[in-house]
Structures are given as structure tokens and as C-alpha cells.
Structure 1
Amino acid sequence: MAHHHVEVAVQGPWSLATSRAFWEGFTPSALPAREGEALQATFLVEGEWRRASVSVTQRGATAVLSLSGAGDLDLAAAQVSRFLSLDVDGRAWTEVGARDPVIAAAQASLPGLRPCGFYSPYEAAAWSVLSQRIRVTQAAALKASLSRDGVFPAPAELLGLSLDLPGRKPEYLRAVAEAALDGLLDAVTLRSMKPAAAVLAVQQVKGLGPFAAELVVLRGANAPDAVPHNESRLTDEVAHRYGRPLAEVSEAWRPYRTWAAVHLRVLRERRLAGLVAASSG
């Protein structure tokens, strides 16, 4: 098994501890909480669909990636940088807070958070299918039942499985697998497109509507500057905190609109959890 060591100079604010805490609580990733400071993950290298493992540590402004696996570990390193948002120049992120006091408060509450996404658009698309019309906990159980040693099946492997899943999920999962093999869910390609165009392209895959397509682009390809138009919880939080429409408010968030949206979603979950605790106290 090959081993590879990569150091990534992260531009702008970044805290591995904050980002790791966010991701370990991000149900689709289902990362187990581990001892120590490193963020550890095993995933499929996009395109090759071979396993790679990574241990990520932080040394000042440098992310240290220790990789191993049978696939192309340079590709794996680029993929890790993408799904941890280490590849985004975040030096102007503090300026968004200077323009928007709500975002400034979110930045202070979540110091150094960089949105951590799915390992790939393929896995984001598969999650979108699995989570349609059922609870997140049920979807996570379905995902776990399909996974092998915690890793979701490669597209070709998924096509060969007998999928005992409710509704049209088997049909839609196969469509996702075929789209991944055809390159329609390639992260580099989707990131190179304008987000709106990428969302439309993803909707060509059977079973992926507007909400799912946004998830694939914003959290699968981890595009940093797009507004989710079909995320009702974000729309509600913006209405609560600003009293103005999302489309108007989000202009001040450029070029980190996805980042701002993720921060607000985290604040919403904390706020609602606080309300529940207060009402039961």
C-alpha cells in the first residue's frame, strides 16, 4: 500500500478542530468521533473509485495530509482539500463579517470553520436519493447497510448490488451510479461551471430534483459561492435573523455565499436546540 505526505498552505482563517467538530456531526458523513486531534477518513478516490485513507492535522496555517491507499494519492490529496474546503482562498472571508453583523457573529461563534462536504458529488447524489421522503436517521441506516467497512460502494459495485430499498430508490441509485461512471458528477467539472449551470446539469440525472442537485453542487463539489434556493431551513433562518429575503441578504456574502449559508444553518440548529432545552427545563 502506497503512502503519501502532503502539506497544504491554507489561505485565510481555518481551524481543524472547529471543522472536525462540524463534520463529525454531519450525519451523511457519519464520521465516528475519534481520540486525538487528527481528522481521519477513508473514502473512494473519485474517478478511480479505489480506497484511500487520510489523517489530517494542522500546523499553524498548514494542513498536513498523511495519505495511504491503492489509488492515485495525488488525486486523493486534491479531493481531501476540496471536501474540507482547504482549496478555497478564504482571506476575504473576514470582510463578509465586516459587511454583515450576523455573519460576524457566526464567525465568532464558529472560529475557523470551513464547510466540510461529502467525499464526492457521487456520494452526495446517493445520499440525496437515500434521504428522500424519510428521516435522516433512517437514511443514515440505509447508507450504512450498503457500505463496506464504512465506505460507500463504488458506482460499478453499486450497479451490481441487489438493492432492497423502498420506492424508486433502487432505480434512482442506479441512475446516480451510471451518471458517475459517465462523468456527469465529476467534482472538478462541476466546480469549473457557474453554480446555476452545474445545478441544471445535475438535474439531468433521474431522481435528482432541484433540492438534490443543489446539495450535489454545494456540498458534493463543495462550491464555495452559491445560494441554495430550495433549502427551507436556511430561508427560515434568514427571515428570523434579517427580516429580509435570502436573495437580497446573500449579496453581501459574495464570494463565500455557500460558507455563509452553512454558518447560518449551524447557528439555526444551535438556536433550536437551545429552545428545546429551555422548554423542557
Structure 2
Amino acid sequence: MLSLDEDGTGYPAVGDRDPVIGALQREHAYLRPVLFHSPYEAACAFVIGHRIRIEQGRAIRARIARAHGETFEVAGTTVHAFPAPQVLRRLDALPGVDAEKTARLHGIADAALDGRLDRARLRALPAAEARAEVKRLRGVGDFFAAGIVLRGAGRADALPGDEVTRAGIRRVYGLPRDPTDAEVARLAEPWAPYRMWCSVLVHATERRAR
């Protein structure tokens, strides 16, 4: 979840190659992306939160976890895990979740149980194939697919292509307009092999500026 499974020893060198990224690394204390616990939970979070406020989605997930997830004691505090796929698949009524979203969640649970959302598998596939794989899930389009693969599976070297990151690139590099996909790919070449990590820095900077 803290991206500590990736060797980050070469990460500062990206900032040496690209001074813009170097400044963002220092500003954010060399932040590594914080990930979802699993691609399964990432997919569930995106589906539950679709077209509602972030705070609403988090509250719904917390209620589901309290009602149906495992309970743990951590440093004297009770915490609740999001329900496992086999549990979620049996739930026909979820508070704050309509019938369509429930059907989508059941499909995600089935995919997880079948191994299609296995983290190692999604990281081993070529990035385009991994995104295409998760786009087969009901209700998952390009944006959600990128989130599931990058922030769920935790790929360190791929570009998300979302509009916030694109706008952030325009801002931090002083471009006259949002860059095209080809321009983003060319500009991000020095970021390898940490292109997702650098994208998160740009994304965080853009959200803060907004």
C-alpha cells in the first residue's frame, strides 16, 4: 500500500534528469504513491464512488465494512476491513448502493474470485493488456481501468492519462495548453522507470493548486 515493494533507489535520479520533477519530489518529500489494498478493493471503491462525492463514497464503504467486513484491533482501535469477495458476492442489498452498482460489485467479486484481479497478474501483463482486462468489468471505463491497474495493482512505470494529471503537466511545465497523449509520453520519458510515481506528484500538485 505504501509502494515499498518497489526499489526506489533510482527515484531521486529522475529529479536530476528533470528539474521540474526534482522540485516536486522535494516539495512532497519524495512521496511514493499510496495504493489501494488490492485491485479488487480499488474496483469496488471506484464503482461505489461513481457520480457521488468522495466523502459520500468513503462513508458508504465504511458502513459496508462495519456491517460485513472482518474486525481488527489495531493499537487499541477497532477497524473494519472491506468485505472479502466471497462475502460481497452474497450481499443483495447494500446501504447507499443502487441495484446497478450492486450488480457491478457482484461482477467485481466474481472477477476477484476467478483470479482476474490478482495483483501479480495485472502487474505482469503489458499495461495496455491489463487495462483492457479490467475494462471487461461492468461499469469500468478508461479512467477506472487506469486507477485499478495503477493504484490497485501498483504499477510504478505507466502513465495514467487522466485529465487532472494532464492539466498538472501543463501547469508545472508552463505549457500553453494541455498536452496530447504523444506529448505527455515524450515529456515523461525521463521519468522512467517511475512514470506513475511522477504522475502522482504532478496530480497531487494540480489538486493542491485547485
Q: TM-score range by the shorter chain?
A: 0.7 to 0.9
- Mean CA deviation greater in 136-145 or 177-186: 136-145
- Report if aligned partners of 2:164, 2:207 keep a CA contact under 8 Å in 1: no
* Partner SS state of residue 224, structure 1: coil
Letter in 2 for 1:251: E
Q: 1:162 aligns with which of 92, 113, 117?
A: 92
Q: 1:171 to 1:107 in 2, by over 3 A?
A: same
- Report if aligned partners of 1:239, 1:246 keep a CA contact under 8 Å in 2: no
1:232 aligns with 2:163: yes
Q: Distance in 2 between matches of 1:232 and 1:269?
A: 11
The correspondence of residues 1-281 of structure 1 with structure 2, limited to 5 A, is 83-148=1-66, 149-164=79-94, 165-166=97-98, 168-229=100-161, 231-242=162-173, 243=175, 244=179, 245-272=183-210
What is the CA-CA distance between 1:202 and the residue it aligns to? 1.0
> Which runs of 5 or more structure 1 residues have no equivalent in the other structure?
1-82, 273-281
TM-score, normalised by the number of residues in structure 1: 0.64
- Mean CA deviation greater in 94-103 or 119-128: 94-103
Flag as ranges the 4+ runs of structure 1 deviating above 4 A: none
What is the CA-CA distance between 1:167 and the residue it aligns to? 5.6
- Report if aligned partners of 2:167, 2:206 keep a CA contact under 8 Å in 1: no
What is the CA-CA distance between 1:172 and the residue it aligns to? 0.5
Q: Distance in 2 between matches of 1:191 and 1:232?
A: 23
Percent identity over the alignment is 40
* Partner SS state of residue 80, structure 2: coil
Letter in 2 for 1:233: V
What is the CA-CA distance between 1:119 and the residue it aligns to? 0.4
- Report if aligned partners of 2:39, 2:148 keep a CA contact under 8 Å in 1: yes
Q: Distance in 2 between matches of 1:168 and 1:248?
A: 40
- Report if aligned partners of 2:157, 2:195 keep a CA contact under 8 Å in 1: yes
What is the CA-CA distance between 1:260 and the residue it aligns to? 0.2
Q: Distance in 2 between matches of 1:99 and 1:262?
A: 18
TM-score, normalised by the number of residues in structure 2: 0.85
Higher helix share: 2
Identify the structure with bigger relative contact order (alpha carbons < 8 Å, sequence gap 6+). Answer: 2
What is the CA-CA distance between 1:128 and the residue it aligns to? 1.0
- Mean CA deviation greater in 236-245 or 94-103: 236-245
- Residue of structure 2 equivalent to 1:56: none
> Which runs of 5 or more structure 2 residues have no equivalent in the other structure?
67-78
Q: Distance in 1 between matches of 2:157 and 2:16?
A: 18
* Partner SS state of residue 57, structure 2: helix
